[in-house]
Every structure is written in structure tokens, then in C-alpha cells.
Chain A
Amino acid sequence: MKVLTTMRRVPDLDARVHLRSDGEEIDYDGVAHKENYFDEVAVECAVRLREAKVATEVVAVCMGPSEAKINLRKALAMGADRGILVEVEEQDLDPFLVATLLAKIVAQEEPSLVIMGKLGVDFENAQVPQMLAEILGWPSATFAFSVEMQGDRLVVGREVDGGSAYFSMPLPAVVSADLRLNEPRYPNLPGIARAQAKRLDVTSPEELGVEEGRRVKSVRFTLPPERKAGAILESVDDLVIKLRDEAKVL
């Protein structure tokens, strides 16, 4: 079976955030970018299915600027067979627009399984996998910590409030990857070398026949007030006095 997976390019969360045009946009100048961690987990899951001979081909998809080819190459270096870059300029694609574009790629590629990160660590919407599944009319399992084929059904363990829940579903299906699913590998040198020779197609929303389809408009960004650092105390006795007399929480 063919597996489609995703790799997004995201800013480094530890970077200092600056805004421009009165907060209308985020200033990404000088901000390092890297792979979205949850997508790395998704790619790792897809590659392991390939290594276990459950999957026959792994196709990695990325939506981003031309620079994101580096990030897509990392997915190839980890073991994905080929890549598709949907070239878009903006950093902040509307999740519904992304799901619509992915649905077009799914129509072309006809995978049995789509596995993607549960969220992008920058905008934190956590919407695209569910939207994609609903657009396609497919089952989905989000926040997966285990993925396993049992006969012709996919059994997924999901992180849910209060514990772990297991679901079984027919294919094709969409899965979103959570932290405990695996620990993504670091690509080794042969993997990196092979990745350079792997096929990487570039397409665009126009070529996929998707016009502007935003449902959420970003108006502006604001920075939260800085929290003032408190007191470093000498002993736990001092701490107890502060908690009792100042914070009044005892």
C-alpha cells in the first residue's frame, strides 16, 4: 500500500518573536526554520511501515516556500521514496486551504493511508488531518501513539483525556501523529546522499486547481505582557512564609 506523509517547515520556537506593520505580520527575518517535530514523527511512522513491508511506497508532501525543499529532503533522507512540494509563499496557510490542497494530492496519488503531524508547532491549529478526512469521507484517528495493521484494518491507539483509547478502522484513513508514536531517526550519511537523487516534484495551488479558499482571516498579532520574575528565596521556610503571607495560598 502507498502511504502519504507530510513535512512542514516551521520557525524555531525558541527564536525571539518580532512583529512588523503594527502587528499585521510576523517578522521572520533572521528566524531559523526547521522541520515540524510532529511531522518528523509521522514520516518516521510511514518509513517504519515501509521497512516492515506493510507500505510499498512513501510519498512526502510539503506546503511551503521554495526553501522548504531542504525540509522535504530531510523526509527523503529519513527514508521516504519521493517528495511533492506545493509551492506557496505564505507561512500561514489557512488549515482548510491546506486540507483542500492535500485532498487534491490524495486524488492524484491515491494512497491507502495518510499520516501527518498532529499540529504545526507555530500556529498550533491541529485541524488539517480531521478536515482532510472529512473532505475525503475517510475515517481518521488523531493524536496517535500506536499504529498497527490487523488484517485489513488499521488499529490506532489515541491519546485522549484520561487515558488511551483504541480504535479500529478500514482503509483508506487519515492518522495524526502524537509524541509517543516513535522517536524520529536522524538521517544517516547514506540516507542523505540517496535523498539528493530521489524525485522531488514541485507543484502549485493553481496547478492543483485550488483557488483562494480561506475561511479564517488573520487580522493581527500581539505580544503578551512579560511576566516579571519573582524572588529567589534562601530556604523552604522562607518559601512557606511567602506562600502564607504574600500569595495567601495556604
Chain B
Amino acid sequence: MSNVLFFAEHSQGSLRKLNGPALTAARQLATRVGGQLIALVVGEDVGAVAQAVARLGVDKVVCVDDAALRDYLPRRYASVVAEVAEDEDAEVVLAAVTTLSKDLLPRVAVRLEAAMISDVVDFLDEDDAPAFVRPMWASKLFEVVTAATDVVCLTVRHTAFAAQEESGRVAPIAAASPEIVDDGTTFERFDAVESARPALTDADVVVAGGRGLGSAEGFASLEPLADLFNAAIGATRAAVDAGYCPNDWQIGQTGKIVAPDLYFAVGISGAIQHVAGMKNAKTIVAINKNPEEPIFQLASYAVVGDAHKLLPQLVEALTKAKA
């Protein structure tokens, strides 16, 4: 029997929302390999997280609850995940793409002598073997790959799958206590980016700004538009580099990948590093004073002009239209 082990990521005591779509991918794979879908929850005091994931259509939840796992430490977590994967006969170990899973799974793959495939957006069959589709080269290209090993570790992009709904069923939860391998690394502190807005990866609407906004104050002029939609605010790498906003807001090849229903690109040229992170948005609106910028090749709708003039006009017109 070969199973699929899903690493369920949580934050501040709750299951992260992007687990939903990733679980859909996990279920597809479990059906394909003909095994069980087992969710793994790792941390300290994570009983509530285990109960939440137990309702998301999995066959079983394994919970490793230990004070030594309170904070994410790469080697400790990798040793735990790899041992549970072996105990549960996992042929596939997967997680949604996050900064944590990107760090963790390559280590797990080494421990399991498994293939590691990042950023998967689709599954195919290639001569009866599962093949995986992943974007590369700032999403100008897709690569189709297969594993040369029996076991495979995957990170999957939550933007490519629909969310798994709660099922009526509650899966059984089993505790496990694998060996925790330590390497002397300690967690010092976490400085959170405080924001009352939804997370970029969860938001239905994203308002993003680029270097064209000119300053941190100019960047802040995105706020009223974001307020209208309860949108998340995003940024280009150039805007982050210029210090207009925190790095956590960066969208693109080296930042977050988003696929909202509506995306406002304000003062954004459309460099491919940025486009890689937002090209799958359903409706893209560009506001930029230079009609020659590449963002206009991508936008569903575009308005040419100075963002500082157009943004207040747009907020006013939208407020009327929504009233």
C-alpha cells in the first residue's frame, strides 16, 4: 500500500487557508496511487489544527505534538516528517508552497532518498507514471517532469487548485512521537508585518503598486482603493527594494504567487519577474502613465495616466457604482 502524506501548515493556532486547495491536489494524487490521504500536523498544542484538517476529506490525521516543535526549525521538522512518511508508507509527501514548505521539503527528500519537485501546478500521466507540471523561467515556460525514485516530495501551488470543502466525515487522529534530530539551531524572534488586511495569498482582490508610485507616501495612496474591496496590498520587487513597503508584500518570481479575481497594477511596468506572480489573476487592471509598458500587453483593462490623479477619481467612481 502506498499513501500520500500531506504536511498541513498552520499559523497562530489555525490551519492556513492555502491548505484547502493543496488538499485537493493531495486527494487527486491519493486516488491516482490508490492509497490513503494522511495529513500530518507538527507543532506544540496543535490539537485544534488536527481537528480542523480532520474535517477536510482526509482519511487520517497524524499529530506530532511536542514542545521541541513549537517553532519551525528545519532539521527537527525534516527528521519528524521523514520518519512519519516512512511509518505511513508514503509514496508522496506534499505541502502547499509557502516559505516554510520550500525550506522543509528538500531536506525531507534527502532523508527519504526521494525526488523533490517544486511549484507543481498540474498532474499528467506519462507512460503510466505520474508526471508533474511546473512553471519556470518566470512562468514563460512549463516543465513536465517525472520522478526517478519510488518516493516523491512535492510543493504545490495553491493557486492552481480549487479548495477542498469540509466533508461530513471526521477522520481519526493518531498521535506519533518520532525522533527529533537537533542541530543546535535556535529560533530567536519573529517580527510580524502587522496588517488588518487579508493575506495576499488568500485575497479575492489585490491592489499592487510599483516603482511608478514614486515614494512610500505615493504607495500609501493605494489604501483607499484596497479598502473598497477589502483587498490585500501587493508590490513589485522594485517597490520593495526602494523601501516603499515590506518584503512580505512582494509578488512575483521571488515573492508570492497570487491568482485573485481582480488585480489592480498601479504604477507597475510589468517586468516578467513580477508578471510571474500575478499573470493568472482573472481580471487585471493596469494604471500607468506610459502606454508602452509591458503590463498593457497583459491587462484586461488599462487606463493611461498619472496614478496619483487617477486613484482618487477611481475610488470616487467605484464608491458611487457600489452604492
Contacts and interface: CB of A to CB of B under 8 A. Distances in A.
Interface of A: 11, 13-14, 17, 26, 38, 95-96, 99, 118-119, 121-128, 130-131, 133-135, 137-143, 145, 155, 158-170, 178-180, 214-224, 227, 229-240, 242-244, 247, 249-250
A127 B106 contact: yes
B109 to A, nearest CB: 7
Contacts of B310: 236
B303 A239 contact: yes
B137 A122 contact: yes
A159 B247 contact: yes
B262 A162 contact: no
A219 B146 contact: yes
A247 B300 contact: yes
A142 B106 CA distance: 12
Given A216-B147, A223-B141, A250-B322, A243 B106 contact: no
A142 B143 contact: no
Interface in B283-311: 283-285, 291, 296-304, 310
B148 A214 contact: yes
Given A160-B190, A165-B190, A220-B143, 9 more contacts: A13-B138, A13-B140, A119-B254, A124-B119, A159-B99, A159-B247, A219-B131, A224-B142, A236-B310
12 contacts: A13-B138, A137-B183, A161-B100, A166-B188, A169-B183, A219-B146, A223-B141, A230-B300, A233-B302, A243-B301, A243-B318, A247-B300
Contacts of B104: 130
Contacts of B11: 161-162
- Interface magnitude class on chain B: 35 or more
B126 interface: yes
A237 B304 CA distance: 13
A235 B99 CA distance: 40
Interface in B231-273: 237, 240-241, 246-248, 253-254, 261-262, 272-273
A139 B103 CA distance: 12
Contacts of A131: 106-107, 109-110, 116
B114 A235 contact: no
Nearest to A232: B302
Interface string B101-127: 011101101110111111100000010
B314 interface: yes
B151 to A, nearest CB: 10
**What 4 A-B pairs come out closest when comparing CB atoms?**
A130-B106, A166-B188, A134-B110, A230-B300
B137 A163 contact: no
Contacts of B248: 159, 161-163
Given A143-B99, A161-B100, A125 B145 contact: no
A222 B144 CA distance: 8
A179 B205 CA distance: 26
Contact of A143 (B103, B133, B205, B285): B103
Nearest to A237: B317
B211 interface: no
Contacts of A238: 303
A224 B139 contact: yes
Contacts of B115: 96, 215-216
Contacts of B301: 230-231, 233, 239, 242-243, 247
A126 B296 CA distance: 30
A167 B188 contact: yes
Contact of B186 (A126, A130, A168, A232): A168
A179 B243 CA distance: 12
A160 B106 CA distance: 17
Contact of A124 (B146, B253, B296, B313): B253
Contacts of A166: 187-191
Contacts of B74: 130, 133, 139-140, 142
A215 B147 contact: yes
Contacts of B298: 227, 229
A138 B183 CA distance: 7
B240 A124 contact: no
A245 to B, nearest CB: 10
A14 B284 CA distance: 21
B240 A180 contact: yes
Given A124-B253, A232-B291, A13 B137 contact: yes
B193 interface: yes
Interface string B176-216: 00000001111111111100000101000100000000000
A227 B118 contact: no
A141 B192 CA distance: 18
